[in-house]
């Protein structure tokens, strides 16, 4: 079975693009892209969304499709497709729950977030996103404002603004993340503003292969949803 990294390499090469040029367009290093394509690191959903925008293909092209019906995708709880089976560097695991429909317009993931001490990364990517908390509590930071989301709470937002979610109160959390790609030609679309913005989840240069802490911190603002 072809992995995500191998698919990304094949798609890049089919378009005749170098890792350097792609890295410049999405704001990550050549070295980081090489590690992704070789399966040495698992990309975040934000990086995959930017690569989707850069290559002009849906995110579905990066994942295995089970074929099946084109009008409906039924994925049982034990059939979820782990996009990053070993987790990201923070231990987050993303599982696709719509992979059986090849011509889908959105990507939906169940995100499992273990407690971490200080996840400094902030993320941004083209399009919009829905974030629904399934279990646990999540500290969700968006554009410098902090929200405490509880099970059943939902955030829907312009994903080009820096954001991140993390387990709250030292307990694991799980959420549904729905990625909505930018609409072509829509002025002010998240994708048009952030296609070349650097992703803090990836190294700033080829020589820097460590995750870069977010520069924009929470500005002391906080809204708690009860």
What integer pLDDT is reported at residue 130 of this predicted model? Answer: 97
Tell me if 225 is assigned to some domain: no
Tell me if 136 is assigned to some domain: yes
Looking at the structure of the chain, the number of domains it has is 1
Distance separating alpha carbons of residues 177 and 175, to the nearest angstrom: 6
What integer pLDDT is reported at residue 190 of this predicted model? Answer: 39
Domain holding 113, by residue range, is 4-209
Distance separating alpha carbons of residues 151 and 217, to the nearest angstrom: 25
Distance separating alpha carbons of residues 153 and 204, to the nearest angstrom: 34
> What is the DSSP code (8-state) at residue 60?
G
Tell me if 220 is assigned to some domain: no
What integer pLDDT is reported at residue 220 of this predicted model? Answer: 41
Q: Which two tokens stand for residue 169?
A: 């109160």
Element (H, E) at 221: strand 221-224
What integer pLDDT is reported at residue 144 of this predicted model? Answer: 92
What integer pLDDT is reported at residue 186 of this predicted model? Answer: 53
Q: Provide the residue count of the chain.
A: 226
Give pLDDT < 70 ranges for the chain: 1-2, 64-69, 85-90, 118-119, 184-226
What integer pLDDT is reported at residue 204 of this predicted model? Answer: 40
Beta strands in 47-196 (DSSP E): 81-82, 93-96, 107-113, 128-135, 137-142, 145-150, 154-158, 163-167, 173-180
Structure confidence by residue, pLDDT tens digits, 51-69: 988 898 888 788 766 555 6
Tell me if 45 is assigned to some domain: yes
Tell me if 178 is assigned to some domain: yes
CA of 139: how far to CAs of 18, 43, 103, 133, 163, in Å?
38, 22, 33, 11, 11
Tell me if 27 is assigned to some domain: yes
- Judge contact between 22 and 15, C-beta under 8 A: no
What integer pLDDT is reported at residue 224 of this predicted model? Answer: 45
Tell me if 164 is assigned to some domain: yes
| Residue 9 belongs to domain with CATH number | 2.60.120.10
Distance separating alpha carbons of residues 182 and 3, to the nearest angstrom: 25
What integer pLDDT is reported at residue 225 of this predicted model? Answer: 47
Distance separating alpha carbons of residues 84 and 90, to the nearest angstrom: 12
């Amino acid at each position: 079975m072809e992995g995500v990294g191998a698919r990304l390499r094949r798609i890049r090469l089919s378009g005749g693009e170098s890792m350097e040029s792609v890295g410049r367009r999405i704001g990550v290093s050549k070295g980081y892209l090489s590690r992704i394509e070789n399966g040495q690191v698992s990309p975040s959903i934000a990086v995959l969304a930017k690569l989707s925008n850069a290559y002009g293909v849906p995110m579905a092209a990066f994942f295995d499709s089970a074929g099946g019906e084109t009008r409906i995708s039924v994925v049982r709880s034990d059939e979820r497709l782990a996009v990053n089976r070993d987790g990201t560097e923070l231990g987050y695991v993303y599982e696709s729950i719509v992979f059986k429909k090849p011509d889908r317009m959105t990507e939906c993931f169940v995100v499992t977030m273990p407690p971490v001490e200080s996840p400094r990364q902030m993320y941004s990517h083209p399009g919009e996103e829905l974030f629904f908390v399934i279990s646990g509590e999540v500290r969700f930071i968006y554009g410098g404002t902090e929200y405490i989301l509880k099970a059943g709470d939902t955030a829907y937002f312009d994903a080009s603004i820096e954001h991140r979610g993390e387990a709250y109160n030292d307990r694991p959390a799980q959420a549904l993340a729905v990625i909505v790609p930018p609409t072509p030609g829509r002025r002010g679309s998240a994708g048009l503003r952030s296609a070349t913005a650097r992703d803090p989840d990836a190294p700033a240069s080829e020589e820097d292969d460590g995750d870069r802490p977010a520069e924009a911190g929470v500005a002391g603002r906080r809204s708690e949803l009860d």
